[in-house]
Amino acid sequence: MCKEYHDLNPHQRILMGPGPSNVDSRVLKAMATPLIGHLDPDFLEIMNETMELLRYVFGTENEMTIAMSGTGSSGMETCLVNLLEPGDKAVVGINGLFGQRMADIIGRCGAELIPVEAEWGKIIEPEDIEEALKNNPGVKLVCIVHAETSTGVRQPLKEIADIAHRFDALLVADTVTSLGGIPVELDKNGVDATYSGTQKCLSCPPGLSPVSFNEKAVKVLENRKSKVQSWYLDLTMIRNYWGKERFYHHTAPISMIYALREALRLVYEEGLEARYKRHLLNGGAFTTGIEAMGLELLVEEEYRLPELIAIKIPEGVEDSFVRSTLLNEFNIEIGGGLGELAGKLWRVGLMGVSSTKKNVYLCLTALESILSRTDFKVERGAAVAAAEEYYKNNS
């Protein structure tokens, strides 16, 4: 072979899409820490600290709070394949792509799917979940997406958890885009099992999926009548590696756990309340600027995520032109719509390290510049002025 392979030198991007977010230099440095064995006493202590920090961010005392090897979808599958057996019933709230994904996995488990659907961009109404439970006795799981990445909807959890528990069902929540950006509070909200991802508001590279099971969920796991269908995601074995026994299951992704521990340490140092306030402030300033520009938002304010904002693409404006120009001229990455909203939305992330006033101003200015080249009428400077006024009144 004569081809020459050069050193890696990708463009330095400002990551303002639905994930991944930018990563703090401390996290990157942690990944360069020399490897040790995955059963080394030093590494076992790192695992202990990672679990402690995860409990802090999740807002839980759950002993089984660990990081699964794999991205957020591995956590989704972990929760469902461990809690469901063939013939079980599961209610799933579907108001976006990731509710659909849960429904797909439930079918693959051999369980009976009971969908509760809502328009994309709207929440799942608690009374609809209650109606599904009344009409389908013996439901084992109610599954809901806390922060729907495909639409930017923030789904309230507590009322649905209370309803699920009245019918003796467990609540499983997708917290992939919410963990570290808005309060999750598993114990206060009554969430029995959850999964998340590292690459969103935690600002860690993708590759791990934090999961947490409370005692009720663990009891369901322990009382299974059949083996978990996935050997790799079988918590009956993996819990013994993360627990006191430290029995070998698979070789842990050591460098990724280094990274997660450091990302969680950054969250701990900032403090959850300060972190939530930062996300809320920057999200509010950005959406204020977007509306001042004359653009429309998909989600009503009451249920809108501050860390992931869905913007309706104006009629006559080409999605790919705007996003490619943002990337090529301004080095900013944002996301497009998914599923039935493909070509109809821009999804802008202000997550973790990427949630800054600088990024708010930069993205608004760049969007104004690009849209002024289209037939969409833009008043130059209005967006940043509106965002600046928001900061002044809310900081």
Q: Which pLDDT does position 1 carry in this prediction?
A: 58
Residues in Cβ contact with 361 at an 8 Å cutoff, skipping those fewer than 6 apart? 384, 387
333: β partners: 15
Task: For residue 93, give Cα distances in angstroms to 38, 113, 206.
Answer: 38, 11, 25
Q: Are 312 and 151 in contact (CB under 8 A)?
A: no
The three-class DSSP label of residue 260 is: helix
Domain 25-268 belongs to what topology? Aspartate Aminotransferase; domain 2 (3.40.640)
Could you report the average pLDDT of every consecutive run of 10 residues in the chain (395 residues)?
Answer: 87 96 98 95 96 98 97 96 98 97 96 98 98 98 98 98 98 98 98 98 98 98 96 95 88 96 98 98 98 97 98 96 98 96 97 98 98 93 97 96
Q: Which pLDDT does position 2 carry in this prediction?
A: 79
Tokens of 60: 């839980």
What CATH superfamily is the domain 272-394?
A: Aspartate Aminotransferase, domain 1 (3.90.1150.10)
Nearest in space to 134 (alpha carbons), one of 110, 94, 154, 163:
163
d(C-alpha 127, C-alpha 248), whole Å: 45
Q: Which pLDDT does position 248 carry in this prediction?
A: 86
Work out whether the CA dihedral 140, 102, 63, 253 comes out positive or negative: positive
Q: Which pLDDT does position 392 carry in this prediction?
A: 98
The three-class DSSP label of residue 64 is: strand
Q: What radius of gyration, in Å, describes the C-alpha atoms of the chain?
A: 22
Q: Which pLDDT does position 361 carry in this prediction?
A: 98
Q: Which pLDDT does position 172 carry in this prediction?
A: 98
Give domain limits for the chain: 25-268, 272-394
- From the number of C-beta atoms within 10 Å of its C-beta (0-12, 13-18, 19+), residue 42 rates as exposed
- Say how many C-beta atoms besides its own lie within 10 A of residue 53's C-beta: 21
Which residue's entry shows tokens 């698979």? 250
Phi, psi values for residue 141, rounded to 5°: -130, 145
DSSP string over 196-226 = --SSSTT---SSEEEEEE-HHHHHHHHT-SS
Nearest in space to 257 (alpha carbons), one of 48, 23, 62, 24:
48
Residues in Cβ contact with 257 at an 8 Å cutoff, skipping those fewer than 6 apart? 43, 46, 47, 50, 67, 208
d(C-alpha 21, C-alpha 162), whole Å: 33
d(C-alpha 285, C-alpha 248), whole Å: 48
